[in-house]
Amino acid sequence: MLGWLRSKHPGSSLAALLFYECVRVFTQVGLMVLFGFRWRGTRSLPARGPVLVVANHQSYLDPPMVGCAMKHRHFDFLARAGLFDSKWLGRLITTLHAVPVKESGGDPASIKEILRRLEMGRVVLIFPEGTRTMDGSIGEFKRGVAVILRRSRCPVLPVGIAGAREAWPRGGKPRLFAGPIVVQAGEPIPHDELMADGADAALERLRAEVGRLVELGERIR
């Protein structure tokens, strides 16, 4: 039992693992009741080993939704550095494996930390657009993502999120019961296959695949 739990997030203490599980269960129930949260294809996330998960970014709901949808692993994710200034919130998201990232320009320290956590055999969630969408479209993927792709040497799992913008639009307030919201996972892409034609081609492929998964999620809604 303990070995199974520890495999969800290598290097974490038992207390941190149990806390994450409790928060995940509570959050999942809340998302299902308040936003009609659904998920599809999420068993495709490998049960062990490092995985980089890339998804489109529609709302503040995205990180907890993706983490709840793939409950057989614990996620590390990026969070704005300013959020860590709050004593209680900073402590909470640190316990939930958040990686601080600067809001402006590149952040070599966060890229280094992402790679370190992948080397530990963890799952790291990133939003390559770098910010939430204004109109629902998928923005260009940031160049810093190419650095991570080149150096991570691990499979990449594309994920599409549909309906989160309607439930909590950028600059607006949460709209309860405005769902459903669907998280649709694809299939993991081996590193060598993804990078065969270079970083630019890899980014284009991932953006196209995430877009396809968003469209599939929209049809499910």
Give the pLDDT band of residue 9 (cuts 50, 70, 90): very high
Q: State whether residue 5 is helix, strand or coil.
A: helix
Enter the pTM of the model.
0.94
What pLDDT, on the 0 to 100 scale, is given for residue 106? 61
Q: Is the dihedral of CA 69, 58, 120, 26 positive or negative?
A: negative
Contact present, 118 and 169 (Cβ < 8 Å): no
> Tens digits of per-residue pLDDT, 164-189?
999 999 989 999 998 899 999 999 99
> Tens digits of per-residue pLDDT, 199-215?
999 999 999 999 999 99
Q: Name the amino acid, one letter, at 201.
A: A
Q: Is the dihedral of CA 49, 200, 150, 101 positive or negative?
A: negative
* Helix %, strand %, coil % of the chain (to 5): 50, 15, 35
Mean pLDDT of 105-126: 90
In the 8-state DSSP scheme, what is residue 140?
A: P
Cα 131 off chain centre by: 13
pLDDT over 90 (residue 27): yes
Contact present, 115 and 4 (Cβ < 8 Å): no
> Whole-angstrom Cα distance, residue 16 to residue 12?
6
> Whole-angstrom Cα distance, residue 192 to residue 79?
28
Mean pLDDT of 33-49: 96
Average pLDDT, the chain: 92
Q: Which of 113, 108, 133 is nearest to 124 (CA)?
A: 113
> Tens digits of per-residue pLDDT, 143-152?
889 999 999 9
What pLDDT, on the 0 to 100 scale, is given for residue 104? 58
pLDDT over 60 (residue 105): no
What pLDDT, on the 0 to 100 scale, is given for residue 129? 92
pLDDT over 90 (residue 76): yes
Percent of the chain whose pLDDT exceeds 70: 97
